[in-house]
Amino acid sequence: MSVARLSVLFVIALIIFAVFLTPVSIIASLLTPPKGVAYQQLQGTLWQGKASALQVNNIVLNNVTWTLSVPSLLVGNADLDVKFGNARNADEISGKGNIRLGMSSIQANDLIVRVPAETVKPMLPVPVGRVGGRVILEVDAYSSSTEFVQNPTTPVCSELTGTLVWTKSEVVFNNPIRMGAISADLSCSDNILVARFNGDNELGLEGDANIASANQFNFDGFVKPQPHLPAEVHQGIAMFAKLDPQGRYPIKL
């Protein structure tokens, strides 16, 4: 092998090792974070590291760790195993899973995210009082186009299987009202995210929530609260809907 070729291979190897060993804090200092993104106390390398906190707009994740698969980069993907938060702290966002970022797609597998219900409340389509409990998202498989991140009119999914559960659900009217667990099965139909509630909950919530894009949402279903729930619940629902012959309150959003 010629000296020139050996020199080129040496330089390439040197660059690769330098990138592998360079602290992620140094790499981050050379880059400008996207708008609305901030971080604290980066440790480790680009391939395996930790941030004490990561903020995206108003969402804060604590103790974020990641491992980046090097072989995935050879085929144009970034395959990340991530973990964040403390699962035992119900007041903190936590989770873990695998995320794959490609040139034109985003995928998630074996992903679980736990969020305090109060954090989710601003995203609800109707105003409610203080809420308690925790919303747990479990995703077996998910994929979408990368355009969804940049364009709010882009479909939110091309594949999805998973569940969404509001555990120890609680709504405060005059007093805290506990409603147990409220769950939905998640799927993707014709690029529309579907959350299907089966009615097997204290609130009697049954129907489909459809999310076509980040700014297009609808719900078609019913609410039939259990008789033992306080009068405030029945009265509050009656403000938005009228009883049908089956004793249910039709809800269309």
Work out the pLDDT band at 18, boundaries 50, 70, 90: low
- Per-residue pLDDT at 92: 95
The mean predicted confidence, pLDDT, of the chain is 85
- Per-residue pLDDT at 15: 54
pTM: 0.86
Which tens digit of pLDDT belongs to each residue from 108-120?
A: 999 999 999 998 8
Question: Which of 1-10, 83-92, 219-228, 232-241 has the lowest average pLDDT?
Answer: 1-10
Looking at the predicted structure, is the pLDDT value of residue 184 above 90?
yes
Which tens digit of pLDDT belongs to each residue from 199-213?
A: 889 888 999 999 988
- Per-residue pLDDT at 197: 94
Is the Cβ–Cβ distance between 186 and 247 less than 8 Å?
no
Looking at the predicted structure, is the pLDDT value of residue 122 above 90?
no
- Per-residue pLDDT at 176: 83
Single-letter residue type at 73? L
Work out the pLDDT band at 95, boundaries 50, 70, 90: very high
- Per-residue pLDDT at 67: 92
- Per-residue pLDDT at 35: 82
Question: Which of 61-70, 95-104, 160-169, 229-238 has the lowest average pLDDT?
Answer: 229-238
- Per-residue pLDDT at 5: 56
CB atoms under 10 Å from CB of 114, counted, come to: 21
